[in-house]
Amino acid sequence: MTVVERHQLKSLIAGVWILAAGATGVMAGVTSVGAVSLLIVVGLLPPLIMLFRWRDPPQTLSESIQAARR
């Protein structure tokens, strides 16, 4: 899996999480300021943590050799 594919996967997971949190809030009929604030935190905090803390694995020896041959 290339770096671009990993970045797209991270973005996809974050987007799905945010949409799911928003849809849950809409279906639950969230209207109070506290509930909306909690929904925003639950919707945004996990994807942000994932995007900044998920590190790509180091390049393997085989990948280094393939890159050098190109």
Asked if 43 and 22 touch (Cβ cutoff 8 Å), the reply is: yes
* pTM tops 0.85, yes or no: no
- CB-based burial label for 29 (10 Å; 0-12, 13-18, 19+): exposed
Interhelix angle 3-28/33-53, rounded to 10 degrees, is: 170
Asked if 21 and 47 touch (Cβ cutoff 8 Å), the reply is: no
The predicted structure's pLDDT at residue 1:
66
Q: pLDDT tens for residues 9-27? A: 889 999 999 999 999 999 9
User: In this structure, what are the phi and psi dihedrals at residue 14, rounded to the nearest 5 degrees?
Assistant: -65, -45
